[in-house]
Amino acid sequence: MERLSLRALGGLEHRPAIRRGDAGVGILHLGLGAFHRAHQAVFTEDAIAKGGGDWAIAAVAPRSRAVLDPLLEQDLLYSVLTIDAEGVRPRVLGVHAAALHAASDPAAVEARLADPAVRIVTLTVTEKAYRPGSEVLRLLLRGLRARGGAPLALVSCDNLPGNGHRLRELVAAELGACEGLGFPCTMVDRIVPASTEGTYATAQAALGVVDRAAVAAEPFSQWVIEDDFPAGRPAWDLAGAVLTADVAPWERLKLRMLNGVHSALAYLGALAGAPTIDRALALPGMRAAMERLIRTDIAPTLRPPDGVSIEAYGERVLERFANPALRHRTLQVAMDGSQKLPQRLLGTIADRRAAGAVPRYATLVLAAWIRFVRGEADDGTPLPLEDPLADRLRAARSPLELDAVFPPGFADDAELRAALDEWGRALDRHGVAGTLEAL
């Protein structure tokens, strides 16, 4: 069967909203993963279609060529499949105008960063890249040094609180003054599991051509952005993004509620042998446990953004996780726990402790992670630990002692430790299934 390409487009029912050449490159994106392709790329293509401007994307794959090569073979075209119980809605994207490989050709990336036509750099490089000396950061800094003073917005689209501030600190620590640079904070949200052979087969059936760069995503998509763009931006607002002066309440809501409950389902689910998030949520007693986690532990720590009901948001999150078509692997969400849990779970626990409460359900999730780190599911199946701190986590007598992960005070909090020990014993004795049943 024919491959997706510019030539094949003529025969397709689904065509991109813009074509290569319609818009010049204005955005450099670092991180070519599934999330970028189903999130910022879609917003940007719609923004250009509705509001114009030279905002096509040059995308950079930092290390792996796994997505880059298929994209290059397809004239940078790919499809986003919106999937749920009702079916598949495909859409072909054409917003990428260049794709670069940083590992083999860093000079090309630096040259793009230095080019004043590039007025925005967006990043989806995962939590662990926001550390001094990370590869991506070094690449970014080299490009910024070569750039001189042309104004630029650096837009972190990773799941970290104050992601823009975090990036600014890392850049400022090396470059000193950040004159002419904007670091808007953003909250990004769309569930986009890693693509599989199943995704490519679905794409082929929906499009009538082969697409080896297809991604599947849930219908929901949200982007809240601080409006701090010294050299302009695409009309993302026309594409449904929320431009605001204060992202913080959105960020906290999303990180603690959506990502927090996601991680809860990932660790409890993986221990219980549930391969996917929807299957984890369907385990007996799990939904009730997640509802209590949301209501009694997470919600009291949140200040809702204007016009948002925390209760409705929580219900929506569980509905999204129940999407049976996504097949999001629990082990994918479980990755990099040491980098994710501080903003997803530990902040909730710390806030509840400061208010004098022992957050029962959040503590259960922490106990589940500690057990997950030991590397064995309830039925004895080995569980992989993919985490930049894997060695330290395994070597620690108690993970609570890792101050790179836990807020100060956790290790000496007797009440918290007692709650954790109790859950630990319950999980040892009854597994996740039995523990949930007894709630």
Contacts to ligand CS2 by CB under 6 A: 159, 189-191, 259, 262, 332-333, 340
In the complex with ligand CS2, the residue whose CB is nearer, 259 or 276, is 259
In the complex with ligand CS2, the residue whose CB is nearer, 340 or 353, is 340
C-alpha torsion angle, residues 113, 26, 223, 186 (rounded to 10): 30
In the complex with ligand CS2, the residue whose CB is nearer, 191 or 283, is 191
Q: Cβ of residue 323: shortest distance to ligand CS2, in angstroms?
A: 11
Q: Cβ of residue 159: shortest distance to ligand CS2, in angstroms?
A: 5
CA distances from 179 to 36, 66, 174 (A): 27, 36, 13
In the complex with ligand CS2, the residue whose CB is nearer, 143 or 260, is 260
Contact 231, 151 (CB under 8 A): yes
Q: Cβ of residue 221: shortest distance to ligand CS2, in angstroms?
A: 9
Q: Cβ of residue 101: shortest distance to ligand CS2, in angstroms?
A: 24
Task: For residue 16, give every residue at least 6 positions away whose Cβ sits within 8 Å of its Cβ, in sequence order, or none.
Answer: 9, 45, 77, 92, 93, 94, 95
In the complex with ligand CS2, the residue whose CB is nearer, 121 or 187, is 187
Q: Cβ of residue 217: shortest distance to ligand CS2, in angstroms?
A: 10
Instruction: Say which residue the tokens 């446990």 belong to.
Output: 289
Q: Cβ of residue 397: shortest distance to ligand CS2, in angstroms?
A: 27
In the complex with ligand CS2, the residue whose CB is nearer, 96 or 328, is 328
- Cα 22-24-26 angle, rounded to 5 deg: 135
**DSSP collapsed to 3 states, the chain:** CCECCHHHHCCCCCCCCCCCCCCCEEEEEECCCHHHHHCHHHHHHHHHHHHCCCCEEEEEECCCCCCHHHHHHCCCCEEEEEEECCEEEEEEECCEEEEEECCCCHHHHHHHHHCCCCCEEEECCCHHHCCCCCHHHHHHHHHHHHHCCCCEEEEECCCCCCHHHHHHHHHHHHHCCCCCEECCCEEEECCCCCCCHHHHHHHHHHHCCECCCCEEECCCCEEEEECCCCCCCCCHHHHCCEEECCCHHHHHHHHHHHHHHHHHHHHHHHHHCCCEHHHHHCCCCHHHHHHHHHHHHHHHHCCCCCCCCHHHHHHHHHHHHCCCCCCCEHHHHHCCHHHHHHHHHHHHHHHHHHCCCCCHHHHHHHHHHHHHHCCECCCCCECCCCCCCHHHHHHCCCHHHCCCCCCCCCCCCHHHHHHHHHHHHHHHHHHHHHHHHCC
Q: Cβ of residue 341: shortest distance to ligand CS2, in angstroms?
A: 10
Q: Cβ of residue 35: shortest distance to ligand CS2, in angstroms?
A: 7
Q: Cβ of residue 344: shortest distance to ligand CS2, in angstroms?
A: 8
C-alpha torsion angle, residues 340, 344, 345, 350 (rounded to 10): 110
Q: Cβ of residue 340: shortest distance to ligand CS2, in angstroms?
A: 6
In the complex with ligand CS2, the residue whose CB is nearer, 69 or 336, is 336
Q: Cβ of residue 124: shortest distance to ligand CS2, in angstroms?
A: 10
Q: Cβ of residue 259: shortest distance to ligand CS2, in angstroms?
A: 5
In the complex with ligand CS2, the residue whose CB is nearer, 35 or 55, is 35
CA distances from 386 to 198, 334, 372, 374, 383 (A): 23, 8, 11, 12, 10
In the complex with ligand CS2, the residue whose CB is nearer, 26 or 184, is 184
In the complex with ligand CS2, the residue whose CB is nearer, 186 or 259, is 259
In the complex with ligand CS2, the residue whose CB is nearer, 34 or 416, is 34
In the complex with ligand CS2, the residue whose CB is nearer, 36 or 112, is 36
